[in-house]
Amino acid sequence: MTLAERIEAYRETLEEWLHGLYHGMIEHPAFELIEKEAEDNDDEFMFACFADAFGIPSPISYYTAELLPYLGEEFQQWERRMWDRESLIERKGQQYHF
């Protein structure tokens, strides 16, 4: 192996590590943060659509029921999430990795 090749290999490893570090420290948390926010937003949307799933009569659920075929999977996950979510702090706390 020539010196040039060894330097090349070293730089590649370094780059990979740096990118991994960047991804772990900045990219991924940022991505996660936004996606969590989007999920929270979605939860609110679902709740506004299907409040009657939790016993709150909603005049609009007759119309929003039309959306269920497209929200199938999401609806079920949402229902499960809503039933066992403990607190807002718990949910918001998840984004910090101690």
Partner 1 sequence: MDKFVFFGGKGGVGKTTVSCAYGLKCAREGLRTLVVSTDPAHSTSDVFDQQFDDDPEPVAGYENLDAMELDPDEEVERHMQQIKRTMSDQVSPAIVNEIDRQIELAHRTPGAYESALFDRFIDVMRNSEEYDRVVFDTSPTGGTLRLLSLPDFLESWIDRLVSKREQSIDLFEKAAIGEREARRRAEEDPIIARLLERKEMFEFAGETLRNDAAFFLVLNPDELSIRETRRALSDLTDYELGVEGLVVNKVAPAPDEGEEGTGATYLRQRYETEQERIERISSEFEEPIVAEIGQRVEEVKGSLLDEVAAELDIEVAREVRA
- Ramachandran bin of 55, using left for φ above 0, alpha for ψ from -120 to 50, beta for the remaining angles: left
Decide if residue 91 touches partner 1 (CB under 8 A).
no
Cα distance between residue 59 and residue 49, in whole Å: 10
> Which two tokens mark 12?
């590649």
Amino acid in position 2: T
Q: Considering the complex, what minimum distance in angstroms separates the CB of residue 2 from partner 1?
A: 33
Decide if residue 48 touches partner 1 (CB under 8 A).
yes
Return the residue of 8, 25, 30, 92 that touches partner 1, per CB under 8 A: 30
Q: Which residues bind partner 1 (CB under 8 A)?
A: 27, 30-31, 34-35, 37-39, 41-42, 44-45, 48-50, 52-53, 57-73, 75-76, 79
